[in-house]
């Protein structure tokens, strides 16, 4: 029987890749729902391609337009609640969550309660509320299979191994657009420079985050929560070729690495077919022509975001949510050319330093910390400009 899938955030970079995987593996998967924020044209086109009968827009203002564009017989809904409802449909097996930003939090929590498999691409879910997500995973039968390439790699390398046999997780980082820039020149960097990512082709926010290594910072926290690993058991290594997507070092000194072409469809497909592996439409690596694989230590002084990640992971509670929220505000200001690239780090560091960490007892605590951090970040940026 086909597995039934919904894709939240289907118009973004991961979402479009997911739709491609679903089309390529249409003998195994049936798409029962697609959701986006406002991109109703994309939704309608994807619905035709995948013969999907339920579309949802997070933004209620586009509902009329969505209805006019959707294929005949297609149900259309809108609003944050519509995404939660779509994720919890009783005829859904897998929820792919690829929503940019914090909008994935509520649908993922609800879908876990409904015992779904979540193919999770949105970093913010584990960063903002990892402790609560883990409590929900322990309480029910829902599961999270990571889609972020690094976490998918670690998940594949661990392959169900006991935590006691793992010495550390080694997350690889391409180094972002400024890896060859001197730290002293970074204040001159523009968002156009930041968008020239050396290897991966992704959305704008995540490409800026890659340039500041804030993306890696979020991934450090995400890894700590997903794999329930202490901060001192997580390492980052620069790997410019982006072919080794991450590694696991075991207590006996052996290291297992996962490699593939730098293309998100490998991780997306695996999260949907796990524990099976299927021969889809993805290219194999040719080691005879691969050339070299290089590794180097990251520069914690040039990239303060890395240190912030360890601080956030160790403190836990509301601090990772604060780091993420302050960064989102700062990246927006950077893209509007209000602040410089190093001021993104300054803003995040300042908002984190001034935050009183609270334990995460419930989702609202994380959401409130997020909201508060955004206000503080806006205030900090106003003082800068």
User: Which residues lie near Mg ion (CB under 5 A)?
Assistant: 148-150
**Of the two residues 137 and 199, which places its CB atom closer to Mg ion in the complex?**
199
Question: How many CA atoms are closer than 13 Å to the CA of 280, on its beta-carbon side?
Answer: 23
**Of the two residues 148 and 328, which places its CB atom closer to Mg ion in the complex?**
148
- Report residue 98 as tokens: 């690829």
Largest CA distance in the chain: 60
Distance CA 304, CA 314 (A): 16
Beta bridge partners of 54: 75
Going by their DSSP bridges, the two strands 54-57 and 75-78 should be labelled as parallel
Q: What DSSP line would sit under 23-34, residue for residue?
A: HHTTTTEEEEEE
CB of 224 to Mg ion, least distance (A): 15
CB of 32 to Mg ion, least distance (A): 27
Residue nearest Mg ion (C-beta atom): 148
CB of 144 to Mg ion, least distance (A): 15
CB of 108 to Mg ion, least distance (A): 18
**DSSP H or E stretch at residue 168:** strand 166-173
The values of phi and psi at residue 291, to 5°, are 80, -145
**Residue in this structure with the two tokens 């990892």, named with its chain if needed:** 130
CB of 151 to Mg ion, least distance (A): 7
**Of the two residues 150 and 350, which places its CB atom closer to Mg ion in the complex?**
150
Beta bridge partners of 247: 170, 257
The values of phi and psi at residue 201, to 5°, are -110, 115
CB of 234 to Mg ion, least distance (A): 14
**Of the two residues 131 and 148, which places its CB atom closer to Mg ion in the complex?**
148
**Of the two residues 46 and 242, which places its CB atom closer to Mg ion in the complex?**
242
CB of 316 to Mg ion, least distance (A): 21
Residue 2 Cα distances to 33, 43, 49, 274, 385, angstroms: 14, 22, 17, 14, 55
**Of the two residues 124 and 150, which places its CB atom closer to Mg ion in the complex?**
150
Asked whether the CA dihedral 238, 240, 242, 244 is positive or negative, the reply is negative
Q: What DSSP line would sit under 92-111, residue for residue?
A: -SEEEE--SSGGGHHHHHHH
Over the Cα atoms of the chain, what is R_g?
Answer: 20
Say what angle helices 341-353 and 304-315 make with each other, to 10 degrees: 20
**Of the two residues 82 and 313, which places its CB atom closer to Mg ion in the complex?**
313
Q: How far is CA 349 from the centre of its chain?
A: 21
**Of the two residues 79 and 262, which places its CB atom closer to Mg ion in the complex?**
262
**Residue in this structure with the two tokens 């419930």, named with its chain if needed:** 362
| Burial of 174 per CB tally in 10 Å (0-12, 13-18, 19+) | buried
CB of 219 to Mg ion, least distance (A): 6
**Of the two residues 66 and 229, which places its CB atom closer to Mg ion in the complex?**
229
CB of 9 to Mg ion, least distance (A): 15
């Amino acid at each position: 029987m086909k597995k039934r899938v919904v894709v939240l955030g289907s118009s973004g970079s991961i979402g479009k890749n997911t739709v491609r995987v679903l089309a390529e593996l249409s003998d195994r998967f049936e798409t029962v729902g697609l959701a986006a924020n406002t991109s109703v044209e994309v939704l309608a086109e994807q619905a035709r391609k995948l013969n999907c009968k339920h579309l949802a827009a997070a933004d209620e203002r586009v509902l009329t337009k969505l209805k006019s564009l959707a294929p005949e017989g297609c149900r259309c809904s809108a609003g944050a609640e519509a995404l939660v409802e779509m994720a919890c449909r009783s005829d859904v097996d897998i929820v792919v969550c690829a929503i940019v930003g914090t909008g994935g939090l509520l649908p993922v929590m609800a879908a876990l309660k409904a015992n779904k498999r979540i193919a999770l691409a949105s970093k913010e879910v584990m960063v903002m509320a990892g402790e609560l997500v883990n409590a929900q995973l322990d309480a029910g039968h829902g599961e999270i299979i990571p889609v972020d390439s690094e976490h998918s790699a670690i998940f594949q390398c661990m392959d169900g191994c006991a935590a006691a046999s793992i010495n550390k997780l080694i997350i690889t980082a391409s180094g972002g657009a400024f890896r060859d820039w001197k730290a002293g020149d970074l204040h001159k960097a523009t968002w156009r420079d930041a968008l020239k990512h050396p290897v991966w082709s992704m959305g704008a926010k995540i490409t800026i985050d890659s340039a500041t290594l804030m993306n890696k910072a979020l991934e450090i926290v995400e890894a700590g929560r997903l794999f329930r690993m202490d901060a001192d058991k997580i390492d980052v290594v620069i790997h410019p070729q982006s072919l080794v997507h991450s590694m696991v070092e075991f207590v006996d000194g052996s290291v297992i690495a996962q490699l593939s072409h730098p293309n998100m469809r490998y991780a997306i497909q695996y999260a949907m077919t796990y524990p099976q592996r299927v021969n889809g439409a993805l290219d194999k690596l040719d080691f005879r022509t691969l050339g070299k694989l290089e590794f180097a230590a990251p520069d914690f002084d040039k990239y303060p975001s890395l240190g912030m990640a360890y601080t956030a992971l160790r403190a836990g509670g509301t601090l990772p949510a604060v780091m993420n929220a302050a960064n989102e505000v700062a990246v927006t200001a950077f893209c509007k050319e209000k602040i410089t690239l190093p001021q993104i780090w300054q803003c995040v560091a300042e908002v984190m330093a001034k935050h009183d960490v609270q334990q995460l007892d419930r989702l609202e605590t994380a959401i409130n910390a997020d909201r508060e951090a955004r206000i503080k970040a806006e205030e900090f940026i106003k003082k800068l400009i």
